[in-house]
Amino acid sequence: MSIRHALVGLSGLALALIPLSGSIAHEIVGNRFFPATLSIDDPGVNDELSLPTVDSFKTGDVPPIRQRDISGEFSKRITEDFAVSFGTTYAFLGPIDPTAPGANGFQNLETTFKYRVFKNPEHEFVMSVGVSVEWGGTGADSVGADPFNTYTPTIYFGKGLGDLPDTLSWLRPVAITGQIGYAIPARSSTTTFAIDSDTGELTADTEFHPKVLNWGGTIQYSMPYLKSSVMDLGLPDFINHLIPLVEANMQTPVANTLTSVRVTTGTINPGVIWVDNKFQLGVEALIPINRQSGTNVGVIAQLHLYLDDIDPRGIGKPIFGGAVQPASPFAGR
């Protein structure tokens, strides 16, 4: 996920709002449990660990390259409403030439500072703001890690439809989440110099680094919500743990695009999340929206641990605040 500048203001505000009582585990708003989604960030603030997240797909390069990633992310609450997360990815890039070796290495380390600004249990609505920082030079040049920082201020939101009237009760398990961020490279351009082998002249090549709008969303249908808050259909227990969903994860270059194409790229990701009280498992297909986004359907899978339920008085407790109160995704409230 991604990272950014109002850091001083956010952290100062969060530290001023240290809770006086115990907090609730997970992002549960009224009767709504928002799971951690695989491709975009969820709207909540939690103590969690995603390890591992694995994916495999073919890039939009010409010719395409098979890329496989293994990543992890750790999120820790400072207060009930403010959290810091750290993530990294190890990438394996297949060779363009079958006779040549590929490349592998770490992408840049990423840190996200996230503050929940609004929560309305009655209407199952939550909104957070954050800033992510991709730390330039912490990854390997061989896998395309940039040597400069990128800052991404982001807005996150989630809305459950549990406030619909009785005539639309079958739609109450539906929820939508979304995020929109603006990635700002710390360096606007990079110029490289080389000696022309034929003329011996010094040549310069300038690459402009675009500012990119990162946006996406999910639509999900919660079987745990259906059973606990709408109607128990007597379905098998395995089915009652499922949240089918579709994610969209897009990137649109919007400025400083002199040496790049202003084309939106991204994937549409249908899949399913199986949730339990202390962890969840998710798997999704990665369907590119155009040729620039990829050349075949990929896959992503994740094991996600709820640290605030696994150890509510230890690592799952906010640094400033009381022990969390474990809250099950299956309990109607």
Query: Which amino acid would we find at residue 48?
Result: E
What's the rounded Cα separation, in Å, for the pair 23 and 35? 17
Percent of the chain with pLDDT over 90: 75
For the four alpha carbons of 164, 166, 170 and 172, in that order, the dihedral sign comes to positive
Domains of the chain by start residue, with CATH: 7-310 (2.40.160.40)
Predicted local distance difference test score (pLDDT) of residue 321: 80
Q: Residue 183 pairs with which residues in a beta bridge? A: 212
What is residue 331's predicted lDDT score, i.e. its pLDDT? Answer: 64
Kindly report the number of other CB atoms within 10 A of residue 54's CB atom: 14
Q: Residue 260: its pLDDT value, please?
A: 84
Look over the chain and give the mean of its residue pLDDT values, rounded to a whole number.
89
Q: Average pLDDT, stretch 107-115?
A: 98
Whether 173 has a pLDDT exceeding 50, the answer reads yes
Least confident of 120-134, 155-169, 316-330: 316-330
Residue 7: band (very low, low, confident or very high) from pLDDT cuts 50, 70, 90? very low
DSSP 100-160: S--EEEEPPPEEEEEEEEEEETTTTEEEEEEEEEE-TTSS-GGGT--SS-EEEEEEEEEEE
Mean pLDDT of 268-292: 97
Quickly state the pLDDT bin for 324 (edges 50, 70, 90). Answer: low
What average pLDDT score do residues 244-260 get?
A: 95
Q: What is the pTM of this model?
A: 0.88
Within a 10 A sphere around the Cβ of 199, how many other Cβ atoms? Answer: 8
Alpha-carbon 184 to chain mean position: 18
pLDDT of residue 26: 66
